[in-house]
Amino acid sequence: MNVTTISRSLLGGLLSAIVILQPASAAGTLSGQIG
């Protein structure tokens, strides 16, 4: 396996994790402000 391929896959996983976690954290802060 190539180093660039590994780093690229890691970056993709990190980006997907951020995309998945961002709305959840935003909803949590929003409900916290409302509550």
Query: What is the rounded distance in angstroms from the CA atom of residue 35 to the CA atom of residue 30?
Result: 9
Chain mean position to CA 25? 10
Model pLDDT, residue 32: 84
**Sign of the C-alpha dihedral, residues 7, 10, 16, 21?**
negative
**Residuewise pLDDT in 10s, the chain (35 residues):** 799 999 999 999 999 988 888 888 888 888 888 76
- pTM score of the predicted model: 0.52
Query: What is the rounded distance in angstroms from the CA atom of residue 16 to the CA atom of residue 25?
Result: 14
User: What is the SS3 assignment for 15?
Assistant: helix
Model pLDDT, residue 30: 80
Model pLDDT, residue 10: 94
